[in-house]
Amino acid sequence: MEPDDGNDGERIAHRTRVRCDERGANLVEYCLLIVLIVLACLAGVTQFGRAVPSDSFVSVNASI
């Protein structure tokens, strides 16, 4: 068992601050990840949209 040096309140406050800082960092990381995924999806849709001829939708609609 550790000796009581009277700094328990400071230790608890420090641990709380560290946890909050980690939560904030995790939030930023998840936001950046979402932004990267959205950009990749937009790039893919843009490239795919240019590759598909516009009259192909008309022929699909006519066959249905």
Q: Does residue 45 sit within a domain?
A: yes
Task: Return the pLDDT at 31.
Answer: 93
Task: Return the pLDDT at 58.
Answer: 72
Q: Give the tens place of pLDDT for each residue, 2-50.
A: 555 556 667 666 666 655 556 667 888 999 999 999 999 999 988 887 7
Task: Return the pLDDT at 26.
Answer: 84
User: CA-to-CA distance for 30 and 8, rounded, in angstroms?
Assistant: 33
User: CA-to-CA distance for 27 and 33, rounded, in angstroms?
Assistant: 10
Task: Return the pLDDT at 23.
Answer: 65
Give the angle subtended at the CA of 48 by the CAs of 46 and 52, to the nearest 5°. Answer: 120
Q: Residue 52: give the domain boundaries.
A: 8-56
First to last CA, the chain: 77
| Number of neighbouring beta carbons within 10 Å of residue 14 | 11
Q: Does residue 15 sit within a domain?
A: yes
Total domains in the fold of the chain: 1
Q: Does residue 52 sit within a domain?
A: yes
